[in-house]
Chains A and B, each alone.
Chain A
Amino acid sequence: MARVLVGVKRVVDYAVKIRVKPDKSGVVTDGVKHSMNPFDEIAVEEAIRLKEKKFASEVVAVTCGPTQNQETLRTALAMGADRGIHVEIPAADYPKVGPLHVSKILAKLAQKEEAGLIIVGKQAIDDDCNQTAQMTASFLDWPQGTFASELKLEGDKLTVVREIDGGLETIELKMPAVVSADLRLNEPRYATLPNIMKAKKKKVDKLSPSDLGVEIATNIEVLEVSDPPVRDAGMKVENTEELISKLKEAGLV
């Protein structure tokens, strides 16, 4: 039975209306509701299901970020993860962190924890990078099954159904492997009161990136963040004749 590592990211909640900071350096995150990246919820759910089916021995949730990330970890624990690892990154350094660092961290942890499977969400809804799973697999030299909409584990054989542009693709991977969760993989469970209460008791280990030999340095500088251009108002026409005359007016026909 494999030990499963699940990466969870704390992001601005999907329902929040995002506002760009006046200085255009980023989006407003202070005082804004945050939650677990929805695709990571799906990843956690899949890992728990593997444990319930006795394909996984233990589910370890991992998060990289400042103190507030502990809430995200507790959510994973309340969903059924056995323990958590918080790779602490001070708030001031956090903007520098991206998929490159997270994947190095996950790779090191996978080796340290002797994990057989890593599941992460396909992308985070704040940066939409869609890179962490792929880079992690690369660092470990493990096979990857990305955009998973179905997962089946038999011994050390992992069958992944992937959502691709043309439809669905089924691949077979030999464990250990990295998987990224897509929307249709499952529907995550809600944490109920008894699980929330027990989650508070579960073990959370704290590490720093340097404990894993990972440096938080970046070659990428964000120059500007701005709102998308405001869409021009459209106009409604009553019938086809009016449509033709308006198009002629605009010099389009």
Chain B
Amino acid sequence: MYGFSMRCFSNQKDEKKFISQIKQHTVVSRHHLVPEIQLYLITPECPHWHLPEKYCAFKDPFWAFFWPGGQAVTRWVMDNPDFIKNKRVLDIGSGCGATAIACYMQGARCVLANDIDSAAAEALKLNFSLNYPDAAINSSDVLRSGFNVSTTDFLCDSMKNDSSNSSILSQCTWDFIILGDMFYDEHMTKALKGFLHRAKSPATRIILGDPNRGFLNSFNNLRILHKYELPKQCILENYGHTTALVMEVCETETV
């Protein structure tokens, strides 16, 4: 059975070095919409928050922040445990992993945290262990019950001929596919629009989180589930945004 790849660090030494860098430059934080979950994040207490990009120890550390769309969708997971319990959940663009961790916390049968960035994959594994020090993390090819991590580029992957049973989408029937704050530029939004169309089925609920970045304005098949006010620190990280919406992708156009 085709599974997914873990394009991680080339060796254990690099991996260990990266993990120690994360611990050096981030703090364990609960200052977000989901204080039930601890995360290694760059906060105003960290020098990196204030540094110009060129002095940053990491390249594009999106995993070091808990983005507003992700916060909203994770809060929704925590507020709606009955939806998630015993389900199979795919978290795309997992970043810091909060949404995937929340699904695990709420009793999902199988969670797959997916992020093409191998640095994010390491960070989210660290975050999961922070909250569940004794739980196993599966990063092998085969999807298992519990917490799984992958770095497969699902967008390319999902465009393969599904009948060959080779794509991540066909690994199992996903009850939930969650995308927290993935609609952050034009290119990504266009690519995801196609993916959402391929992924949507009556058996699969697709949930999105977005702080109104504007790229979802062209979608006409979204139903708003909830609106959340963003906490102070999140607003400081995302100038101009004060709220975030949780939306569901519908099969047909919404009025």
Contacts and interface: CB of A to CB of B under 8 A. Distances in A.
Interface of A: 48, 51-52, 54, 58-59, 78-83, 189-190, 192-198, 201-203
A193 B42 contact: yes
Contact of B238 (A54, A59, A81, A194): A194
Given A197-B60, A201-B184, A203-B186, A81 B240 contact: yes
Interface in B27-72: 42, 48-53, 56, 60-62, 65
A197 B64 CA distance: 11
B238 A195 contact: yes
A198 B214 contact: no
Given A193-B53, A203-B185, 10 more contacts: A48-B239, A52-B235, A59-B240, A80-B240, A189-B239, A192-B50, A194-B238, A197-B53, A197-B60, A203-B186
B242 interface: yes
Nearest to B43: A194
A193 B186 CA distance: 21
Given A201-B184, A202-B185, A203-B186, A193 B239 contact: no
B191 interface: no
A202 B186 CA distance: 8
A79 B239 contact: yes
Contact of B214 (A58, A78, A196): A58
A-B pairs with the 3 shortest C-beta distances? Answer: A80-B239, A80-B240, A201-B185
A192 B49 contact: yes
Contacts of B185: 201-203
Contacts of B50: 190, 192-193
B49 A193 contact: yes
A82 B240 contact: yes
A195 B239 contact: yes
A80 B48 CA distance: 19
Given A192-B50, A193-B49, A48 B56 contact: no
27 contacts: A48-B239, A51-B240, A52-B235, A52-B240, A54-B242, A78-B239, A80-B239, A82-B214, A82-B240, A189-B239, A192-B50, A192-B237, A193-B48, A193-B53, A194-B42, A194-B237, A194-B238, A195-B239, A196-B52, A196-B53, A197-B53, A197-B60, A197-B65, A198-B238, A201-B184, A201-B185, A201-B188
Contacts of B53: 193, 196-197
Contact of B242 (A52, A193, A198): A52
Contacts of B137: none
A198 B184 contact: yes
Contacts of A54: 242
Nearest to A50: B240
B190 to A, nearest CB: 12
A12 B111 CA distance: 53
B225 interface: no
B245 to A, nearest CB: 15
A80 B61 CA distance: 19
A78 B52 CA distance: 12
Interface in B173-188: 184-186, 188
